[in-house]
Chain A
Amino acid sequence: MEYLQARPVLSQLEKDMKTSILALGFVSVVAGFPCAAVAKTPVLNVLTYDSFNEEWGAGPSVEKAFEASCSCDLKFVSGGSAATMVARVQMEGKSSDIDVVLGLDTNMTAAATASGLFAPHGQTWKNDLPVSFSDPYFVPYDWGWLAFVYNKNKLSDVPKTFEELAASDIKIVIEDPRSSAPGLGLLLWIKTIYGDKAKEIWTGLADNIVTVTPSWAGAYGMFTEGEVDMVLSYTTSPAYHLIAENDDTKAAAVFDEGHYMQIEVAGKLAATDQPELADQFLAFIGSDAFQSVITKNWAYPAVTPSVGLPEGFDRFRPAKSLILSATDAVAVRDGALAEWQAVLAK
């Protein structure tokens, strides 16, 4: 009897085959269409990290603003997470179609410069960073202070130093410096303040650290689920909750010893086939049109826009900014990483 039922399977399989072939055809048409349609307007390919180009993030606004003035097509190419973008550029090599890379931070620019794949930007516009910053290859577009973010209603005894944090029984989650930009930033933050004593701080923090996540998103998700008291993020994170969710319960702990900065930069590739357009984009980064929408990235604009800063951006301002130069960051990184790994792997 059961043999008679073979037909439905086959006809269903046939149907599936047909839909799949149709789907494949549809997919290739969709994928191929944009290339065909814009063959005449010049295309500027900008490599950036995933979350920058999220639908309601800064990406689409930047694209719209730039395309209004350049008579070109700005295309964002997703380069994974911020920490992986230098490797991506190296993988692309000289045959790359990428013109501009947006989203490296200063802890990674030395490796990027050393690859020889970037060209000097030649921009002269001034930035408003709290520390003096200029690099022949990279222009800053936004920046932030790393900070531990907490819920005001749940945590009252907020530490003011790493030592206080280490001595407390506050539970925190941090990102892995081997796969995440803020994770690497924390490593350098502690190293900058404590130098040779950094190992002791990590030893003290070990019982506070609930776990280490590969990505910022994983850590922040654990925090919003209430699994930890504090999460390594940015001083501007509470502003997101305030503005987008009308939630005033989140705050950033301000440390007396100062806060490590993450300066996000953009640079142009030497092998670009659109050098003028790339220069035009790097100049556009310094303009009010760019700087007034970049706050959608939940970081401080590199040049304060005429509209000022959004609500909540001024709430948690550390008195002292810390940052290592690109070359120092590279020199310190491997040793600090080995130290971190040795302490926390126990």
Chain B
Amino acid sequence: MASRSSQINYAMGAAIVAALVVVLTFGMAAVVWAEAGSFWPTATDWAAVRFTLLQAVLSAGLSCLLAVPVARALARRYFVGRGILITLMGAPFLLPVIVAVLGLVIVFGRAGIVSDVMALFGLPPLSIYGLHGVLLAHVFFNLPLVTRMLLMGWQAIPSERFRLSASLGMTEGAVYRHLELPMLRSVLPGAAAVVFTICLTSFVVALTLGGGPGATTVELAIYKALRFDYEPARAAALSLLQFAMGAGEVALGWAVLGSTGFGVGLGRKVEMRPPRGWRFWVDILVIFIAASFLLLPLSAIVLRGIAGLADLPLGMIVALVRSFAVALTSTVLTVVAALLLALAVARKAKGAKLFDAVATLPLAVSGLVLGTGLFLTVQPYVRPEALALPVTVLVNALLSLPYVYSLLLPEARALHVDYDRLARSLALVGVARLRWVTLPRLARPLGFGAGLAASLSMGDLGVITLFAGESGTTLPLYVHRLMGAYRMEAAAGAALVLVVFSFALFVLFDGMGRRVAT
């Protein structure tokens, strides 16, 4: 019999996390706003809003649309190297933006590999600059993420349901309608919301591949307002606009969110009957195209990086260690916070809707406004450099919270529906339940989420630029500094080190999760 003290109050924990998130997001926007007067957006700002919405909607739609066949093919086909491929597919998401853009240019640019191949057939070089280039880059970053989310969705369908459908002689279409479609309806809205909000704050990618000021996003307008003109009120107003767009998407996601209601299974491996004949070849083709699309730019980056390794200054090692410490610390914070929120929401604790909204909030918040708000808050009291690393840890944890949360939530919901009654009838509560039911059942999304959080945090540059002093350089900032000082080769080498180590962290956590789950 569990005593009261072993109960865990998830609602209380979630409330504390939620309060912190609100302070960091709205609070910091308010601090920036308070710096100066009022502001109403101009015509160029509205143009930026239109372009931002357009590219974010298209990017989210395309990423989700393309991820369905890829994830489906991967879910039902087994081949040598499948595990490695799935893991490698996480890598584009981890690349520092400026490095990823160069990788895409090397492959798809005017002088890129694809253009070279096309020239063999007498075709003109490819131009990736324009809306289509922005979409290409955003799909490159986000297709793997959505694919992984969907793959987990497929794996979460109890294998007993697939067996039942087989014994009922259901056609592929019927299996799709009764099993896969409900799963897609429960996973895709969240995935689309995540991609949409990521693209909402895109700025380097959008401008560089968008081909000019026509591809100005709201985030770039915020950048200009904050860092170029220093008009904090304008920046705060723009960030509210950006936030409204994100909130609109989250609300839309709620409206279409479906519940799977699959009920409990024994947690065996997915047993989809892989269809034979032409469908086999379609699946192979889908996997091949997706893999080459994602892996070619990655290989280009790796090759460039190897050439630059010999050039690396020693200071890089210190920056690497610092990045590691930042990544690990913020991962722990994120995972604990996301778990608290997801469990509270899944249990429909008081304020669940609010927690759900708050958990997605950081996605729509401009990292620039957040960093500036924190800077303005601490600067009168402490030298910002002294807080560079703690602030980076905090902001990275905050910014990766929505990803981990959206990975955990669907499975936490399923877990609650499937196991709550059983656990209660066994009087399994508190720490014991966390240890024997919750953590093992959530191991897969926890591992993936922790991996994602750790590697995002390794690669993030958001606020460190405002706070970094002489001693606070992290590896991504180091890469930028090398590039800014002509040292492109060394920068490529340092970027490779960054990618390899972020990826190693990702694989470590993700692998841990997968090992425990199977």
Contact = CB atoms under 8 A, between A and B. Distances in A.
B481 A340 contact: no
Interface string A4-36: 011011101000110110011011101110110
B61 to A, nearest CB: 24
A345 B48 CA distance: 11
A31 B466 contact: no
A211 B129 contact: yes
Most chain A CB atoms below 10 A, which of B322, B331, B446: B322
Interface string B475-518: 00100111111111001000000000000000000001001110
B486 A222 contact: no
A179 B60 CA distance: 27
Interface stretch (B151-159, B174-182, B249-257, B386-394): B386-394
B379 A91 contact: yes
A225 B227 contact: no
Nearest to A6: B440
A50 B253 CA distance: 41
A54 B488 contact: no
Q: Kindly state the interface size class of chain B when it binds its partner.
A: 35 or more
B227 A9 contact: no
B405 interface: no
Given A9-B440, A77-B469, A227-B110, A214 B220 contact: yes
Nearest to A206: B212
Given A23-B328, A54-B482, A179 B227 contact: yes
Contacts of A6: 435-436, 439-440, 516
A53 B98 contact: no
Interface in A203-243: 209-218, 220-222, 224-228, 237, 240
Nearest to B224: A178
A212 B484 contact: no
Interface string A25-69: 011101110110000000000000111011111000000000000
A218 B488 contact: no
A179 B220 contact: yes
Interface stretch (B99-107, B163-171, B282-290): B99-107
Contacts of A57: 485
Most chain A CB atoms below 10 A, which of B47, B472, B481: B481
A330 B70 CA distance: 53
A86 B209 CA distance: 28
A212 B375 contact: no
Contact of A210 (B106, B110, B485): B110
B223 interface: yes
B380 interface: yes
A246 B476 CA distance: 28
A328 B45 CA distance: 26
B516 A20 contact: no
Interface string B334-347: 00000000000000
A83 interface: yes
Contact of B465 (A5, A19, A78): A78
Given A76-B470, A91-B375, A2 B211 contact: no
Interface stretch (B22-30, B185-193, B200-208): B200-208
A50 B481 contact: yes
Given A90-B230, A210-B129, A218 B325 contact: no
Contacts of B326: 27
Contact of B486 (A3, A20, A23, A298): A298
A213 to B, nearest CB: 5
Interface string B370-394: 0010011001100101111110010
A31 B326 CA distance: 13
A214 B313 CA distance: 26
Contact of A87 (B47, B212, B228, B482): B228
A26 B325 contact: yes
Contacts of A81: 227, 484
A344 to B, nearest CB: 4
A9 B439 contact: yes
Contacts of A344: 212-214
B470 to A, nearest CB: 6
Interface in A68-124: 75-78, 80-81, 83-84, 86-88, 90-93, 95-97
A142 interface: no
Contacts of B260: none
A75 B228 contact: no
Contacts of B275: none
A244 interface: yes
A171 interface: yes
B332 interface: yes
A35 B472 CA distance: 13
A100 to B, nearest CB: 15
A217 B480 contact: yes
Contacts of A179: 220, 223-224, 227-228
Contacts of B484: 49-51, 54, 81, 215-217
A197 interface: no
Contacts of B466: 80, 88
A210 B211 contact: yes
A35 B386 contact: yes
A337 to B, nearest CB: 9
Contacts of A78: 465, 468-470, 477
A341 interface: yes
Interface in B270-310: none
Contact of A214 (B208, B332, B376, B379): B208
Given A178-B220, A214-B208, A217-B98, A97 B213 contact: no
Contacts of B512: 8-9, 12
B105 A222 contact: yes
Contact of A75 (B315, B332, B443, B470): B470
B328 A51 contact: no
Interface of A: 2-3, 5-6, 8-10, 12, 16-17, 19-20, 23-24, 26-28, 30-32, 34-35, 49-51, 53-57, 75-78, 80-81, 83-84, 86-88, 90-93, 95-97, 171, 176, 178-179, 209-218, 220-222, 224-228, 237, 240, 244, 298, 340-341, 344-346
6 contacts: A50-B477, A78-B470, A96-B379, A216-B484, A225-B111, A345-B213
Given A81-B227, A211-B210, A218-B483, 19 more contacts: A24-B393, A27-B322, A27-B389, A54-B481, A78-B469, A91-B372, A179-B227, A211-B129, A212-B211, A215-B98, A216-B484, A217-B491, A218-B208, A220-B483, A221-B491, A225-B105, A298-B485, A344-B212, A345-B213
Q: Which 9 A-B pairs have the closest CB atoms?
A: A51-B484, A217-B483, A84-B227, A23-B325, A87-B230, A345-B214, A54-B485, A51-B485, A344-B212
